[in-house]
Chains A and B, each alone.
Chain A
Amino acid sequence: MLEQSQLHAIESHCTQESAPRCRTACPLDMDVRTFLECLAADRGREARKLLERHLPLPGIMTAVCDHPCENACLRRDLGGGLAVSSLEKFCMKNVPPQTKPLIRPPKKQSLAVIGAGLAGLVTAFDISHKGFSVTVHHEGGKEDALLAAFPSLDRASLAEELNALETFHVRFVQATFDEALLRQCSTDHAAVFVDASACALAPGRDDIDASTLLWKENICCGGWQSRTPTGAAYASASAQAGEGRRAGITIQRIMTGVSLVAAREGENRKNRLHTPLDGIPPLPRVLPAGEIYTAEEAGREADRCIRCSCMQCVKECPFLQKYKEFPRVYARKLYNNASVVRGTRTANVIMNGCALCGQCEEICPERFSMADLCLQARQDAVERDVMPASAHEFALEDMAQASGPESAFLLEDPSLADGDRHSRTMFFPGCQLAASRGDQVLAMYRYLRKTLPGGASLFSICCGIPAHWAGREKLFQEHAETLRRQWEACGKPEILAACSSCMSALRTAMPEAVITPLWTKLDELMPEPFAAAAPEAMNVQDPCGARHDKAWQKAVRSLASKAGIRVEEAKRTGEESACCGYGGLVWNAQPDVADALAKKRAGEFSLPVLTSCIMCHDRFASETETWHLFDILPQTASCGTHQEKDAPGLSARRAGRAALKEKALEEFLGEKPASRHDEEPIRLHIPEQVRIAMERRYILRQDVVTAICGMEKSGAKFINRDNGHILGSWRPRNVTFWVEYTADDDGSFTLVKAWCHRMVVAGATQPVEKVILEDKVHA
């Protein structure tokens, strides 16, 4: 399970929650983006509320602020930074005050401010609003210092703000600024703030601690002049106000006896938010026709805000879009999910919805990996035995079938069978290519045997990647060990893999093995162009498992080019390629996400698409014209099936693997199977729409056949007296299958519908005799 520190490290890679540049540029932490959003949506009251919440002395600040946010704005080169200053002025003038701060009885401690410049007044504002009384000392009139620094300030509104301050226990006292006053204040008050813009006693900015602005004892300073890049001095309202606020925090800590330095890192915000600007058209700044914006003009100007936000991974991934958040939040949810002891683990769906394809990591400027996060969460859930049983059960059963006696086989090159010699190469097609394209696998094997020096063996089995994806590391390791033993027994041949997931699983299982993509080897074996009945121009889908495998990607393009195909690169190829929805077993855990992934990716192709992974092919086939490399290669094209729009279903895949085994053993070893895999004990007809519905529920043809056989034998079934339909169930494993069918006159059966559930209900499963017995005992 993740430690909290690990969570924070992971979270920090997602910058979506980081402040936009306008906000990090503002020393007062003004939420400019939301302010603009409110104005653009004609929600002036909320906009004003934000000004009042973030800005001290809002009437003064909005009038004199030098708005560093406008320079920092990413719109700067796309029509000009947002006119935040003018919009704030518009808001203050046109929207009445929205908040009425609570005036609390003054606390015991008090603050003395020496110098009524902007920094001093901001400190007075912040501290008085925390309930401390404040005495502001000034030379001359109380407005003089501010008016000298900011001559454009309107006297009336200034007087109004200062009067408002007085209602918050702020007292203005005329005084002569000298050492005696400073000493007196330091003794009489809990803390003192010296405004450098109005009082010559203050030290230089470089002479005091920049993070606390503490000068000595209980005295803080702020309000210095700023310098332009050319060295001219000027009063920056935002900088001075920011210093007043920063000193105010220190002063409050002095008064409440809290560490002056602890947990203040957040005050120095950095620009971390990545905002992609591609495709954002320039829009010129809206200029007010009069002196100040009208509501309509303000709305239009505010609407120019590009609402800085990263979301680059989310824009590309239907899974990340599904739960309407972004990786940082997902990381937190998964962490909380893992901490649940009793209660509902609501983020299980997040953990199991990721295709583990790694695209987000490639797109993310900070390389945030949802795949690592989700895989770790799965492994943790499996270890603690809280993984939802149904999430990957079917996929793991499929792995068992592909690795079991029905389908798996290792065929040593028959020409080397006499003696102890082994072939130098091993063709590893992968269980899905075997399931989908058995005839082509055999054709390719014939070619490799004939062509490769030193012979070739054929190893058809699952590589174990489903176990890894399901978070079942123990199962993955056990499977890897089996593969390794068989590979060693074959004399450690070079492995030719036709599936990128197999490549990664095999590389983990046997790191010392030489594992080459089949396509790279074929590209070497076939230096000359060859004829292919393929489209003239195609897009290429790089499988997510091969996103870092440049050799794989290059070989596929080279073979395509030799076939006379002009490859036009689609959006996001190579490292940034998107998943078809097979990865990470999301097709099993959340078929809706898998379908959305396939649909989205298929929609990004403008030409027929060439795949080198059979699952990419099979998942895109119903969406767009899709070809697998086997469909264009001369060795395999003639027995191809690319014209079929629909890929084989789950039952057909299992049957396909079994058929491949039978054919291979018969062709190369002359072994006749005792019974053929496709010989069923009953004749069963499944209408196409019923078959499609079964696929969606992971009900296999074999399950239906066995259920009907069992029911017909035991008689444990129901009859519908209205239409003669027969209904019954069978529970071979953790699922109960229900089949409703008709017994036809010719002795065959027709399936009407099939459904399933996982709950156990006494009397609802075969063998019914046993259940009834148990039932009676309980009764």
Chain B
Amino acid sequence: MSLEPNFTADDGDWICSRCGVPLEQIKVQALYMHSAFDVILPRCPSCGLTLIPQSLAEGKMAEVEALLEDK
């Protein structure tokens, strides 16, 4: 089992429009202000296009951004 936080799409059955394949939960790196985090996000296994759900962007991600900005 992976230890990285895992975020799935908020709702719906999303596919990559170009590759026509379903997204998979894949580990990617999120970067902000000289800090990097590994997160697992829905991603196209073929072209790498990665989806950031609204709940993550306005929840945890916003929190971490604010925290890093005050560092």
Contact = CB atoms under 8 A, between A and B. Distances in A.
Contacts of A716: 17-18, 47, 49
Most chain A C-beta atoms within 10 Å of own C-beta, residue among B43, B48, B66, B71: B48
B29 A761 contact: yes
Nearest to A774: B48
Q: Bin the interface of chain B by size.
A: 35 or more
Interface in B34-49: 39, 41, 43-44, 47-49
A715 interface: yes
A7 interface: no
A738 B14 contact: no
A759 B30 contact: yes
B5 to A, nearest CB: 13
B57 A343 contact: no
Interface stretch (A268-276, A292-300, A762-770): A762-770
B70 A388 contact: yes
Contacts of B58: 755, 757
21 contacts: A344-B67, A345-B70, A390-B66, A391-B69, A716-B17, A718-B17, A718-B49, A725-B12, A738-B57, A757-B57, A757-B62, A757-B65, A759-B65, A760-B32, A761-B41, A762-B28, A762-B48, A763-B48, A763-B50, A772-B47, A775-B48
Contacts of B30: 759-761
Nearest to B22: A721
Interface of B: 11-18, 23, 28-33, 39, 41, 43-44, 47-52, 54, 57-58, 61-62, 64-67, 69-71
A705 interface: no
Interface residues of A, number: 39
A726 interface: yes
Contacts of B41: 761, 764
Contacts of B57: 738, 755-757
Given A727-B51, A760-B31, A772-B48, A719 B17 contact: yes
B36 to A, nearest CB: 10
Q: Enumerate the 4 nearest inter-chain pairs by beta-carbon distance, A residue then B residue, closest first.
A: A763-B50, A388-B69, A720-B12, A757-B57
B44 to A, nearest CB: 8
Given A715-B18, A736-B52, A761-B50, A722 B13 contact: yes
A369 interface: no
A344 B71 contact: yes
A390 B63 CA distance: 12
Given A757-B61, A775-B48, 19 more contacts: A344-B70, A345-B70, A348-B70, A390-B66, A716-B17, A717-B17, A718-B15, A718-B51, A719-B15, A721-B13, A756-B57, A757-B57, A760-B32, A761-B31, A761-B39, A761-B41, A762-B29, A763-B28, A768-B48
Contacts of B18: 715-717
B17 A726 contact: yes
Nearest to B50: A763
A346 B70 contact: yes
A287 interface: no
A348 B66 CA distance: 10
Contacts of B61: 757, 759
Contacts of B39: 761
Contacts of A348: 69-70
A166 B70 CA distance: 58
A758 interface: yes
Contacts of A727: 14, 51
A762 B32 CA distance: 12
Contacts of A722: 11-13
A348 B28 CA distance: 31
Most chain B C-beta atoms within 10 Å of own C-beta, residue among A346, A718, A726, A758: A718
B54 to A, nearest CB: 4
B39 to A, nearest CB: 8
Contacts of B62: 757
Most chain A C-beta atoms within 10 Å of own C-beta, residue among B11, B17, B66: B17
